[in-house]
Amino acid sequence: MGAAAVPEEAAFEKPVDRGEPILQVRELVKHFPLTQGIIFKKLVGAVKAVDGVSFDLMQGETLGIVGESGCGKSTLAKVLMNLEPATSGSIRYKGEEITKLSGAALKAVRRNIQMVFQDPYTSLNPRMTVGDIIGEPFEIHPEVAPKGDRRKAVQDLLDVVGLNPEYITRYPHQFSGGQRQRIGIARGLALKPEIIICDEPVSALDVSVQAQVINLLEKLQSEFNLSYMFIAHDLSIVRHISDRVGVMYLGRMVEIGSDEEIYDHATHPYTQALLSAVPVPDPTARDARGRIVLTGDVPSPANPPSGCRFRTRCWKAQEKCAVETPALTVRQWLEGPAAHDSACHFAAEKESEAPPA
């Protein structure tokens, strides 16, 4: 078998129908080498930040990604954005493999997949005007806005994100946190992308401002037909904005499904523990739900447990869990909304405590 053909730029122009996969990720791996020694660096292992992640992102949807700090969410985002090379695995955008692209085809993909970062204070260059920050992507992709049209294009973008188009000559420090995140979003939109990966886009903002930025993202999604990946710690925000949710633990996806399947019918013990820690306004509802307190630290991603990575903290763990890695799949004993992808040998909704035979 010969090497796979390198796709032409035009392959990324074709439209994808709503609800069809726009991004297909299979067995994606990103390991960071661990070295020892100063002059003679010796390879002593690897941080398995992303270690075999598979999922689809559908056109027009918002896929939320949740999981504890260090589970690999940002690394996943960077690999999808081609900011970090994948160690192995496959990412197909509109059916074309993009992990090994270079030149014009890579440029075309980079244009179509954009990112909004967590910290609006550090992600904007303080020495550049807002106009230059938002218009900078046009330097690399002049075809989107020829030089004479740029000022107008930037002003339109400011208007779209709810900022005064006259602010074009101001500097980032002259704006509040929420306004800066709007600038970050305007920059992300400049090249008319199809996919936006939002990595904790509201975590650094005041609660009162978070809702405004979320509303803006939702408005832009329907206006520009965008597909979102939305990474966040806050499970309530993720539920609000997501159509589907993926839960990560130690570099792997442990459960994925619609927001109803995950929030009301979780079958993976880790998801159940995460959800039980979410504050609920009604104390009776909280008591009925029961709180699961996870014991033990998250193991090191350089040396994850064998079999199921969650087993060192799982109250349901059995011998099988140490020897066999559970596949992310639908277990045949589950029915209705509980029948969704879950990487647990004994997947079950919380009510039924007895593990299936």
Contact positions vs ligand ATP (CB under 6 A): 32, 47, 49, 67, 69-75, 301
Q: In the complex with ligand SF4, which residue's Cβ is closer, 191 or 321?
A: 321
310: partner contacted, choices ligand ATP, Mg ion, ligand SF4, none (Cβ within 5-8 A by kind): ligand SF4
Q: In the complex with ligand ATP, which residue's Cβ is closer, 49 or 157?
A: 49
Q: What one-character-per-residue DSSP string does 242-268 give? A: -SEEEEEETTEEEEEEEHHHHHHH--S
Phi, psi (5° rounding) for residue 269? -55, -35
Euclidean distance between CA atoms 208 and 309, whole angstroms:
37
70: partner contacted, choices ligand ATP, ligand SF4, Mg ion, none (Cβ within 5-8 A by kind): ligand ATP
Q: In the complex with ligand SF4, which residue's Cβ is closer, 120 or 301?
A: 301
Euclidean distance between CA atoms 248 and 264, whole angstroms:
18
Q: What one-character-per-residue DSSP string does 201-214 give? A: TTTTS-HHHHHHHH
Q: In the complex with ligand SF4, which residue's Cβ is closer, 54 or 112?
A: 54
Q: In the complex with ligand SF4, which residue's Cβ is closer, 237 or 275?
A: 275
Nearest to 160 by CA among 240, 221, 231, 229: 221
Q: What one-character-per-residue DSSP string does 74-106 give? A: HHHHHHHTTSS--SEEEEEETTEE-TT--HHHH
3-state secondary structure of 47: strand
47: partner contacted, choices Mg ion, ligand ATP, ligand SF4, none (Cβ within 5-8 A by kind): ligand ATP
32: partner contacted, choices ligand ATP, Mg ion, ligand SF4, none (Cβ within 5-8 A by kind): ligand ATP
Phi, psi (5° rounding) for residue 321? -65, -25
Phi, psi (5° rounding) for residue 100? -120, 30
Radius of gyration in angstroms for the set of CA atoms belonging to the chain, rounded to a whole number:
22
Paired residues of 329 in beta bridges: 342
Mark 336-355 with x for binding to ligand SF4 (rule: CB under 6 A) and - for no binding.
--------xxx---------
For residue 142, the minimal CB distance to ligand ATP (Å) is 32
Q: What one-character-per-residue DSSP string does 273-317 give? A: HHHHTS--SSHHHHHHH---PPPSPPPPTTSPPSSSTTGGG-TT-
CA 220 to chain CA centroid, nearest Å:
18
Q: In the complex with Mg ion, which residue's Cβ is closer, 96 or 200?
A: 200
For residue 73, the minimal CB distance to Mg ion (Å) is 5
For residue 119, the minimal CB distance to ligand ATP (Å) is 11
Mark 54-93 with x for binding to Mg ion (rule: CB under 5 A) and - for no binding.
-------------------xx-------------------
Mark 304-333 with x for binding to ligand SF4 (rule: CB under 6 A) and - for no binding.
----x-xx--x-xx---x----x-------
Q: In the complex with ligand ATP, which residue's Cβ is closer, 7 or 301?
A: 301
Euclidean distance between CA atoms 245 and 65, whole angstroms:
6
Mark 297-336 with x for binding to Mg ion (rule: CB under 5 A) and - for no binding.
----------------------------------------
Q: In the complex with Mg ion, which residue's Cβ is closer, 50 or 241?
A: 50
Burial of residue 140 (number of CB atoms within 10 Å: 0-12, 13-18, 19+) = exposed
For residue 70, the minimal CB distance to ligand SF4 (Å) is 18
8 Å CB contact between 79 and 50: yes
Paired residues of 23 in beta bridges: 57, 93
For residue 14, the minimal CB distance to ligand SF4 (Å) is 40
Q: Which of 269, 304, 328, 348 binds ligand SF4 (CB under 6 A)?
A: 269
Q: In the complex with ligand SF4, which residue's Cβ is closer, 12 or 346?
A: 346
Residue ranges that bind ligand SF4, judged by CB under 6 A: 268-269, 308, 310-311, 314, 316-317, 321, 326, 344-346
Residue ranges that bind Mg ion, judged by CB under 5 A: 73-74
